[in-house]
A = this chain, B = another copy of it.
Amino acid sequence: MEIFMAKSQAHKAESRRAIVDAAARLFRENGVDGVSVAAIMDAAGLTHGGFPRHFDSKQDLLAEALKQAVAASARVPALAGGDLGTYAATYLRPEHRDAAGEGCVFAALGTELSRAPAAVRHVLTQAMAQQFNRFAASAPGDDPEAQRAAAIGSWAAMVGAMVLARIADSPALSDEILQATQRFLCAAGDDRD
């Protein structure tokens, strides 16, 4: 415990970063309604009273946390490379399923976010659009429209598979969902090469 921690302006930015980091992880792990502001502040090493010095509301923090999370996802090497097959192989690993807090925002919070306020959904819409553009260029096939369809359909399959794999209470079925989806996507790609 840093009892005499400085409270300068420089350290405020550090606190803010810690809050956003904790929120991005805890929201994905437990859902938006499954984690309290107090729990987030605690995970950031602060008390809940300091919250309004950084954010107007929990929704405001949610928007910031998602903004950071999608930006971080866009920096994942497999995605930066742009190869759909490589990305799918990375995305569909059991390690991703078991670490929702550091994983895909859409697979972790998707159904809750469809009911989120406009500001939150807008952040995610732009992230989706960018993702599709990146993938479309590297998708198999030569017809641009078909490439884009493959990019969108493949990503939908990844997100859906992760959602379903996390619901399954049988480890065997959960693993199978991930493997089968990867096989399905590979086959769909190979057919067009």
Binding site for B on A (CB under 8 A): 30-31, 33-34, 100, 106-115, 118, 121-122, 124-125, 128-129, 146, 148-161, 163-164, 166-170, 173, 176-177, 179-181, 183-185, 187-188, 191-192
Contacts and interface: CB of A to CB of B under 8 A. Distances in A.
A10 B115 CA distance: 38
Helix, strand, loop or mixed for chain A's interface? helix
Contact of A167 (B124, B183, B185, B192): B124
Number of this chain's copies in the complex: 2
Contacts of A118: 169
A31 B180 contact: no
Given A153-B184, A157-B153, A188-B187, A110 B169 contact: no
A177 B132 CA distance: 10
A125 B34 CA distance: 22
